[in-house]
Structure 1
């Protein structure tokens, strides 16, 4: 009887040990599988989708004779870019998205008359304020090179591409001794603008530059000479994941 009890206890101990070892092995295998799946999932979904904000100093190129910018003209942009890697290690990608831009240009090109029949002239210093501003919707398409990995979002980058913009709203203001003259929706402004841009930097803060490839005006002139000004905007762009 005593031998039978001993045999029973020994058999039970073996069974419990087997179940315990099997459970540990299964847990270990499950944990390894979860870790592998997690790593694969993170790597396969790794993208640099980003919100961006930029602040720029705005200058005018190909200016008419006598036109000057004697005050600081500013611009602001914001938007979102969708990242699409084209290389296995995801250091090269293309991206596109949607953005909004507000640009302000302070200069001495007076715009008077009406939005359907505007008159342009270079004026002297006898005025309080003279500027025009534009509000645009942007569609950027860019090529991306970076040193990022899925483990770190702090990296060097060189991004560049083409930006297409549509003019939603414009406003010109001349404030001189005769009072304020404001024009909105000037038909002489180009509704469709495009240019090239680049941003270079590390982590969140990057140097940014945009150069317009077509004229800001489509039908404006001074003394029968067309105004063919283009934008050059330089500043900083901030990327936020």
Structure 2
């Protein structure tokens, strides 16, 4: 009887042991077709180029943009690509180009800062960036050096200028003299999330506008700041 129970115990032990399974080791899948599709956010200091004589900036003029870009690699290593996207921008400018209104329409003047209390111009835009990309990224890491450059096409959804001369406040919404379609070249460069950004407008901010002194207003926009890419 003792021999019977001993044999039964040994059979049970080997049965349990044989049922133990080794953990399955799954092979790591290499993504050879990775893309750098990215959301972006830029924060900039806004400047003006080709300004009329006497026109100056005042205070800190800031801008912010955000959007998404679709990455399309064009080489085997996927380090060179083109990308297109869609975004929104808010741009704000403090300067001394005063825009007021009388019975004849809009009047443009470059005045000294002591002749008004405040003066600013802002616009909201929808952006279509198209860029050429170089980076040394791999499928294993999203931390890499990059240089992206291209063109940005923009359409002004809304604009507003506010001039307070101490006696009257002039508010001009959706100025008809503004170039609704704007475009410019830009470049961004950096490592990982942090990248410097520079944009230069290629067409004037206003169309066919002269100041009261007869000088044409052909100023263009410039943005200098940081752009952050988020996968």
Report the TM-score, using the length of structure 2 for normalisation: 0.86
In structure 1, which of residues 44, 50, 65 is the aligned counterpart of residue 38 of structure 2?
Answer: 50
Q: Which stretches in structure 2 are left out of the alignment for 5+ residues?
A: 1-21
In structure 1, which of residues 13, 35, 39 is the aligned counterpart of residue 27 of structure 2?
Answer: 35
Aligned match of 1:226:
216
Aligned match of 1:85:
73
Q: Which stretches in structure 1 are left out of the alignment for 5+ residues?
A: 1-23
Aligned match of 2:166:
177
C-alpha distance in 1 between matches for 2:171 and 2:77:
54
Structure 1 moving runs of 4+ over 3 Å: none
Report the TM-score, using the length of structure 1 for normalisation: 0.82
CA contact (8 A) 1:189 1:219 kept: no
Aligned match of 1:63:
51
Q: Secondary structure at the match of 2:108?
A: strand
Shift in Å, 1:35: 2.9
Q: Confirm whether residue 143 of structure 1 aligns to residue 110 of structure 2.
A: no
How far does the alpha carbon of each residue in 1:111-145 deviate from its partner, in whole angstroms, 9 at most, with x for none?
A: 0117x931100111222210111111000000000
C-alpha distance in 2 between matches for 1:118 and 1:104:
20
Shift in Å, 1:176: 1.9
C-alpha distance in 1 between matches for 2:58 and 2:125:
24
Shift in Å, 1:175: 1.1
Task: Report how many residues are paired.
Answer: 209
Greater share of residues in helix: 1
Aligned match of 2:15:
none
C-alpha distance in 2 between matches for 1:93 and 1:207:
19
Aligned match of 1:189:
178
Aligned CA RMSD, in angstroms, stands at 2.0
Q: Confirm whether residue 73 of structure 1 aligns to residue 61 of structure 2.
A: yes
Aligned match of 2:94:
106
Q: Secondary structure at the match of 1:35?
A: coil
Q: Confirm whether residue 163 of structure 1 aligns to residue 152 of structure 2.
A: yes
Aligned match of 1:20:
none
Q: Confirm whether residue 207 of structure 1 aligns to residue 202 of structure 2.
A: no
C-alpha distance in 1 between matches for 2:129 and 2:226:
17
Q: Secondary structure at the match of 1:225?
A: coil
